[in-house]
Chains A and B, each alone.
Chain A
C-alpha cells in the first residue's frame, strides 16, 4: 500500500527554523498538502499544491518539493506553532487520498 513517511516528532526553540519532511515514491507525480492540528481542534490547511499558501496563513509557513520528498518549513517559529503537522497526497492513480502519520512539533 501507498504510504507517506514523516518523522514522528521534532523539537525547535522559538525563533529557529523547523523543517518537516514527508517522503513517498509517488510525490514527484502527485501534489502534497500540509495541515496543522492543535489539540482538540480540526486540522487547518497551511500549504496546498506543494508550495502554495492559503490566504490567512502567515508567510513564515512555506512548502517545497524535491524528488520523492516534500517539506514544510516554518521560519522564525513561534510558541503558537506547536502542533501536529500532517502531509497529505494521493496514491499513484490519484483516486485515493493518503495522510502521513503526522509530526508532533514541540516549541
Chain B
C-alpha cells in the first residue's frame, strides 16, 4: 500500500534551516507529484508547494518563495523540503502528501505522511 514516512521531530533556533524528509513506498515515486503542507498549533492547513519528482519542477506558495527548497532522491523515492531563515511562526507540523493526479498535478492529496513537528525556539 502507499506509504509516506517522514523524518522525526526537529528543534531549531531562529534563523536556522530545517530539512524534512518524506520516504515513499508502494507506488512509482516519479509518476506522482508531492505536496508539502503545514499546520501551526491549533491552526488550519497551509499549502507550501509541490514538486514533480520526474522533472524536478517546483511550484511554491508566494509566502514561502525565496525561503523554501523542494528536492528529491529518486533512487530511494524520497522527497525533501528545506525551509530556511526560520522564525517562531514556522513552528508547525509539516506534512508531505501525494497528489492523486499522477503525471498531472490535480491538487487532490490522497495519501499523507504522519507529519513532522518542527519547533523553533531560542
Contacts and interface: CB of A to CB of B under 8 A. Distances in A.
Interface residues of A, number: 24
A97 B51 CA distance: 13
Contact of A42 (B35, B46, B108, B115): B115
Categorize the interface residue count of chain B: 20 to 34
17 contacts: A31-B108, A33-B107, A35-B45, A42-B112, A42-B113, A42-B114, A43-B112, A44-B112, A48-B106, A49-B108, A86-B44, A86-B45, A90-B107, A96-B62, A97-B50, A99-B44, A101-B44
A98 interface: yes
Nearest to A99: B45
A48 B46 contact: no
Given A96-B59, A96-B62, A43 B47 contact: no
Interface in A35-61: 35, 37, 42-45, 48-49, 54
